[in-house]
Amino acid sequence: MEFNTNCIVNMSEADEDFARVARLADEEKRVLIVKDDRPKYLLLEFEEYEKICREEELELARKAQEMLTENRNAYNRLVDL
């Protein structure tokens, strides 16, 4: 996941002015909060979170269909048992 460097704030900045960080998340869709120079939290709009979840569910369904197609013969033998 790539981040605009303007969307990365350190923990002390987030602690001191959370309202500013929340506004930044409104504008940019997501903000990475770092602590000790390491990613610690990700602040994002709930709609963005739901979008990410839907994309992951679609990818999982695609992979499951792909596996079922590749292994249809074995699947059919198991169903017949």
d(CA 52, CA 50): 5
> Does 53 lie in the same domain as 24?
no
> Does 54 lie in the same domain as 34?
no
CA atoms 8, 10, 16, 18: torsion sign: positive
- The residue segments making up the domain with residue 23 are 1-44
Is the model's pLDDT at 2 over the cut of 70?
no
- Kindly report the CATH number assigned to the domain that includes residue 36: 3.40.1620
Give the pLDDT confidence score for residue 11 in this predicted structure. Answer: 96
Residues 6+ apart with CB under 8 A from 13: 20, 21
> Does 34 lie in the same domain as 64?
no
Angle, vertex CA 61, rays to CA 57 and CA 80, nearest 5: 145
> Does 51 lie in the same domain as 28?
no
Q: How far is CA 58 from the centre of its chain?
A: 13
Beta pairing, strands 30-35 & 8-10? parallel
> Does 59 lie in the same domain as 33?
no
Please give the tally of structural domains in the chain: 2
**pTM reported for the whole predicted model:** 0.66
> Does 28 lie in the same domain as 1?
yes
Over residues 19-51, the pLDDT tens digits come to 999 999 999 989 999 999 999 999 999 998 999
